[in-house]
Copies of this chain bind each other. A is one copy, B any other.
């Protein structure tokens, strides 16, 4: 039977129809409508009506999610999304069982199955984008923590005196290498392009701009500090990166591993396999679909 996976982001919504193994059968991308949650959800339901038959729906969304009850407690990148009963909404409209989880948790489940083939039981996915997220699989199960808020890899302090983060803390990993953080590094390095984005900086770097290369070197070093913390704590089998900025893994990889070696216990580092997910672009949606199947 088919599954639906939906990744609701601040700028776009990805809807994927997969088979039970996570293989993509259909894929639609929509711009996220500006407006109330109801407006956004109506748009999605319209799309679902055009789909083949499906057995369950999985929804991944950034923010603080009550996955048990399928409620978005708060989503920072979406306007006025507070206490949105997402599960209920979809189930009433579609009559299909729906599960809702944090987007990074969905990505971790997707990557655990597709990249890791379920062989790597202690597994971490770090999502690199506007924000930095984390999903943790321990002993083959998604670890959600006590109130569903575990995995905030973006909000580990890597420098207690670092820049203010959107979460209120100082020196979080996200404050350094979330989209805004990367642009801040670029400005510091003297890059003057008006429309600086991580993608623009990456293009400059690939074309030989030394300042842009240095931006990704710094980004890689910060990422290594945060990743190193997770390795020393979790001693995982595998770590994968996904999210928009992971598209620049070619620029990140070398300085990342150089820095990581300085920071991590040798035995743990030797053991862990670290890659960019082969499914990075669709991982949130595919993982949501697979998660909806899993909770049968």
Residues on A close to B: CB < 8 A?
64, 73, 121-122, 134, 136, 138-139, 141, 143-153, 155-161, 167-171, 221-222, 225, 228-230, 232-237, 262-265, 267-268, 271-272
What are 11 inter-chain pairs, A to B, with CB distance below 8 A? A122-B146, A138-B143, A139-B143, A146-B271, A146-B272, A147-B267, A149-B267, A149-B268, A159-B160, A169-B264, A233-B233
A149 to B267, CA, bound (A): 8
Which residues of chain B come closer than 8 Å to A234, judged between CB atoms? Answer: 145, 150
Q: Give CA–CA (A121, B234) in the complex, Å.
A: 17
A132 → chain B, closest Cβ, in Å? 11
List the B side residues contacting A167 at CB < 8 Å: 265
Residues of B within 8 A of A144 (CB): 235
Question: Is B145 a contact partner of A236 (Cβ separation < 8 A)?
Answer: yes
Q: How far is the CB of A188 from chain B (nearest CB, A)?
A: 16
Of B155, B159, B222, the contact of A232 (CB 8 Å cutoff): B155
Instruction: Among B73, B138, B147, point to the contact of A138 (Cβ < 8 A).
Output: B138
Report the nearest B residue to A148, measured CB to CB. Answer: B235
The answer for the CA separation of A151 and B233 in the assembled complex, in Å, is: 5
Which residues of chain B are within 8 angstroms of A263 by Cβ–Cβ distance? 157, 169-170
